[in-house]
Protein backbone atom coordinates (compact mmCIF):
# COMPACT_ATOMS: atom_id res chain seq x y z
CA UNK A 1 0.00 0.00 0.00
CA UNK A 2 1.30 3.42 -0.91
CA UNK A 3 1.89 5.77 2.04
CA UNK A 4 -0.50 8.67 2.49
CA UNK A 5 0.71 11.86 0.77
CA UNK A 6 2.45 14.40 2.97
CA UNK A 7 2.92 18.09 2.42
CA UNK A 8 6.33 19.70 2.22
CA UNK A 9 5.46 21.54 5.41
CA UNK A 10 4.81 18.21 7.11
CA UNK A 11 8.15 16.82 5.91
CA UNK A 12 9.83 19.91 7.35
CA UNK A 13 8.13 19.38 10.71
CA UNK A 14 6.15 22.61 10.45
CA UNK A 15 2.74 22.25 12.14
CA UNK A 16 -0.34 23.97 10.71
CA UNK A 17 -0.56 27.57 11.89
CA UNK A 18 -3.89 29.37 11.81
CA UNK A 19 -3.71 33.16 11.85
CA UNK A 20 -3.36 34.86 15.23
CA UNK A 21 -5.83 37.78 15.35
CA UNK A 22 -3.28 39.96 17.17
CA UNK A 23 -0.82 39.59 14.28
CA UNK A 24 -3.11 39.09 11.28
CA UNK A 25 -4.78 41.17 8.60
CA UNK A 26 -7.73 40.06 6.49
CA UNK A 27 -7.20 40.50 2.75
CA UNK A 28 -10.37 40.27 0.64
CA UNK A 29 -9.29 39.77 -2.97
CA UNK A 30 -11.34 40.73 -6.03
CA UNK A 31 -14.80 40.30 -4.51
CA UNK A 32 -16.26 41.96 -7.59
CA UNK A 33 -19.34 41.67 -9.77
CA UNK A 34 -17.25 40.40 -12.71
CA UNK A 35 -17.20 37.06 -10.93
CA UNK A 36 -20.94 37.09 -10.23
CA UNK A 37 -22.77 38.77 -13.12
CA UNK A 38 -19.91 39.40 -15.54
CA UNK A 39 -18.02 37.40 -18.13
CA UNK A 40 -16.29 35.00 -15.73
CA UNK A 41 -18.87 33.78 -13.19
CA UNK A 42 -17.40 31.38 -10.67
CA UNK A 43 -18.80 28.09 -9.43
CA UNK A 44 -20.31 28.52 -5.97
CA UNK A 45 -19.50 32.21 -5.86
CA UNK A 46 -22.57 33.26 -3.87
CA UNK A 47 -21.79 30.77 -1.12
CA UNK A 48 -18.16 31.88 -1.11
CA UNK A 49 -19.20 35.53 -0.78
CA UNK A 50 -21.43 34.66 2.18
CA UNK A 51 -18.55 32.83 3.85
CA UNK A 52 -16.17 35.73 3.16
CA UNK A 53 -18.68 38.03 4.85
CA UNK A 54 -18.58 35.77 7.91
CA UNK A 55 -14.80 35.95 7.91
CA UNK A 56 -14.99 39.73 7.78
CA UNK A 57 -17.32 39.76 10.78
CA UNK A 58 -14.78 37.57 12.59
CA UNK A 59 -12.06 40.11 11.76
CA UNK A 60 -14.13 43.14 12.73
CA UNK A 61 -15.00 41.65 16.11
CA UNK A 62 -11.34 41.07 16.91
CA UNK A 63 -9.72 44.28 15.71
CA UNK A 64 -8.15 42.58 12.70
CA UNK A 65 -7.42 45.14 9.94
CA UNK A 66 -9.36 44.57 6.72
CA UNK A 67 -7.93 45.20 3.26
CA UNK A 68 -9.97 45.11 0.06
CA UNK A 69 -7.98 44.38 -3.10
CA UNK A 70 -9.89 45.47 -6.20
CA UNK A 71 -8.77 44.48 -9.69
CA UNK A 72 -8.92 47.04 -12.50
CA UNK A 73 -8.22 46.24 -16.12
CA UNK A 74 -7.57 48.93 -18.68
CA UNK A 75 -10.45 51.32 -19.44
CA UNK A 76 -12.71 49.66 -21.99
CA UNK A 77 -11.26 46.20 -21.42
CA UNK A 78 -13.47 43.11 -21.66
CA UNK A 79 -12.79 42.07 -18.07
CA UNK A 80 -12.71 44.25 -14.96
CA UNK A 81 -13.29 47.45 -16.91
CA UNK A 82 -12.97 50.16 -14.22
CA UNK A 83 -15.56 52.22 -16.09
CA UNK A 84 -18.08 49.37 -16.26
CA UNK A 85 -20.58 47.96 -13.77
CA UNK A 86 -18.79 44.69 -13.10
CA UNK A 87 -15.70 46.18 -11.46
CA UNK A 88 -17.81 47.08 -8.41
CA UNK A 89 -17.35 45.22 -5.15
CA UNK A 90 -20.27 42.92 -4.37
CA UNK A 91 -22.78 44.41 -1.91
CA UNK A 92 -22.16 41.86 0.85
CA UNK A 93 -18.50 42.88 1.01
CA UNK A 94 -18.71 46.61 0.33
CA UNK A 95 -15.81 48.32 2.13
CA UNK A 96 -16.80 49.85 5.45
CA UNK A 97 -15.32 52.90 7.22
CA UNK A 98 -11.83 52.15 8.49
CA UNK A 99 -11.19 49.43 5.91
CA UNK A 100 -8.48 49.98 3.30
CA UNK A 101 -9.09 49.67 -0.46
CA UNK A 102 -6.16 49.07 -2.80
CA UNK A 103 -6.34 48.81 -6.60
CA UNK A 104 -4.27 46.21 -8.40
CA UNK A 105 -3.70 45.35 -12.05
CA UNK A 106 -1.89 42.02 -11.67
CA UNK A 107 -2.87 38.73 -10.01
CA UNK A 108 -0.45 39.20 -7.10
CA UNK A 109 -2.04 41.61 -4.62
CA UNK A 110 1.38 42.94 -3.59
CA UNK A 111 2.47 43.83 -7.15
CA UNK A 112 2.11 47.54 -7.85
CA UNK A 113 0.17 48.21 -4.63
CA UNK A 114 0.98 49.52 -1.14
CA UNK A 115 -0.22 46.35 0.57
CA UNK A 116 3.20 45.33 1.92
CA UNK A 117 3.94 48.85 3.17
CA UNK A 118 0.53 49.18 4.85
CA UNK A 119 0.92 45.83 6.57
CA UNK A 120 4.36 46.81 7.85
CA UNK A 121 2.94 50.08 9.20
CA UNK A 122 0.40 48.07 11.16
CA UNK A 123 2.93 45.50 12.33
CA UNK A 124 0.91 42.68 10.80
CA UNK A 125 2.90 39.58 9.86
CA UNK A 126 0.11 37.10 9.18
CA UNK A 127 -2.61 37.09 6.53
CA UNK A 128 -6.07 35.63 6.18
CA UNK A 129 -7.00 35.40 2.51
CA UNK A 130 -10.51 35.17 1.06
CA UNK A 131 -11.87 36.04 -2.37
CA UNK A 132 -11.30 35.14 -5.97
CA UNK A 133 -10.24 33.35 -7.96
CA UNK A 134 -8.58 30.55 -6.04
CA UNK A 135 -6.26 29.38 -8.81
CA UNK A 136 -5.26 32.89 -9.86
CA UNK A 137 -5.17 35.84 -7.45
CA UNK A 138 -5.52 33.91 -4.19
CA UNK A 139 -2.71 31.61 -5.28
CA UNK A 140 -0.49 34.40 -6.61
CA UNK A 141 -0.91 36.44 -3.44
CA UNK A 142 -0.26 33.53 -1.08
CA UNK A 143 2.90 32.59 -2.95
CA UNK A 144 4.18 36.17 -2.93
CA UNK A 145 3.33 36.46 0.76
CA UNK A 146 5.73 33.64 1.57
CA UNK A 147 8.53 35.43 -0.29
CA UNK A 148 7.82 38.54 1.79
CA UNK A 149 7.88 36.68 5.10
CA UNK A 150 4.15 36.42 5.89
CA UNK A 151 2.38 33.41 7.35
CA UNK A 152 -0.85 32.86 5.46
CA UNK A 153 -4.19 31.23 6.19
CA UNK A 154 -6.63 30.61 3.32
CA UNK A 155 -10.32 30.06 4.14
CA UNK A 156 -11.37 27.45 1.59
CA UNK A 157 -15.13 28.04 1.56
CA UNK A 158 -14.56 31.78 1.15
CA UNK A 159 -12.84 31.21 -2.20
CA UNK A 160 -14.07 29.98 -5.57
CA UNK A 161 -12.93 29.39 -9.11
CA UNK A 162 -14.25 28.27 -12.52
CA UNK A 163 -13.93 25.65 -15.22
CA UNK A 164 -10.68 26.06 -17.12
CA UNK A 165 -9.74 24.98 -20.67
CA UNK A 166 -7.37 22.02 -20.60
CA UNK A 167 -5.48 22.97 -23.77
CA UNK A 168 -6.75 19.87 -25.57
CA UNK A 169 -10.23 21.00 -26.51
CA UNK A 170 -11.81 20.01 -23.22
CA UNK A 171 -12.01 21.56 -19.79
CA UNK A 172 -11.08 20.94 -16.18
CA UNK A 173 -14.13 21.23 -13.89
CA UNK A 174 -14.12 24.03 -11.35
CA UNK A 175 -14.21 21.62 -8.42
CA UNK A 176 -10.99 20.00 -9.61
CA UNK A 177 -9.34 23.37 -10.15
CA UNK A 178 -10.42 24.44 -6.67
CA UNK A 179 -9.16 21.28 -5.00
CA UNK A 180 -5.85 21.41 -6.86
CA UNK A 181 -5.25 25.10 -6.14
CA UNK A 182 -5.88 24.65 -2.42
CA UNK A 183 -3.74 21.51 -2.27
CA UNK A 184 -0.85 23.33 -3.95
CA UNK A 185 -1.05 26.19 -1.47
CA UNK A 186 -1.32 23.82 1.47
CA UNK A 187 1.79 21.96 0.35
CA UNK A 188 4.11 24.87 1.16
CA UNK A 189 2.55 28.31 1.06
CA UNK A 190 -0.39 28.46 3.47
CA UNK A 191 -2.50 26.78 6.10
CA UNK A 192 -5.88 25.88 4.61
CA UNK A 193 -8.94 26.02 6.89
CA UNK A 194 -12.44 25.07 5.86
CA UNK A 195 -14.48 28.04 7.03
CA UNK A 196 -14.74 31.00 9.40
CA UNK A 197 -15.47 28.65 12.28
CA UNK A 198 -11.91 27.33 12.09
CA UNK A 199 -10.41 30.75 12.85
CA UNK A 200 -9.33 31.51 16.44
CA UNK A 201 -12.07 32.82 18.69
CA UNK A 202 -9.85 35.33 20.47
CA UNK A 203 -11.40 38.05 22.64
CA UNK A 204 -12.81 41.04 20.79
CA UNK A 205 -10.49 44.03 20.46
CA UNK A 206 -10.93 47.63 19.29
CA UNK A 207 -10.44 48.14 15.56
CA UNK A 208 -7.48 50.28 14.50
CA UNK A 209 -6.20 50.81 10.99
CA UNK A 210 -4.08 53.29 9.10
CA UNK A 211 -5.66 54.66 5.94
Annotated catalytic residue, options 30, 163, 168, 187:
30
Residue 104 catalytic?
yes
SS3 68: strand
Residue 195 catalytic?
no
Annotated catalytic residue, options 137, 147, 166, 187:
137
44's torsion region: left (phi>0), alpha (psi -120 to 50) or beta? left
Residue 12 CB coordination number (10 Å): 8
Annotated catalytic residue, options 104, 120, 166, 187:
104
Q: Is 198 exposed, middle or buried (0-12, 13-18, 19+ CB in 10 A)?
A: middle
Residue 120 catalytic?
no
Run of H or E including 151: strand 151-160
| Residues labelled as active-site residues | 30, 104, 137
Amino acid sequence: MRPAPRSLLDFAGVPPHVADPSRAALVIIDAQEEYVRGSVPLAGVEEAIAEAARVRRWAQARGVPVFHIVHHGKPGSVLFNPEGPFSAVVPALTPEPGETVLIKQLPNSFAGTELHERLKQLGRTELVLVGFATHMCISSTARAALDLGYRTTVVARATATRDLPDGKGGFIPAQWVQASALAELGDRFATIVEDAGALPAAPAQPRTQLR
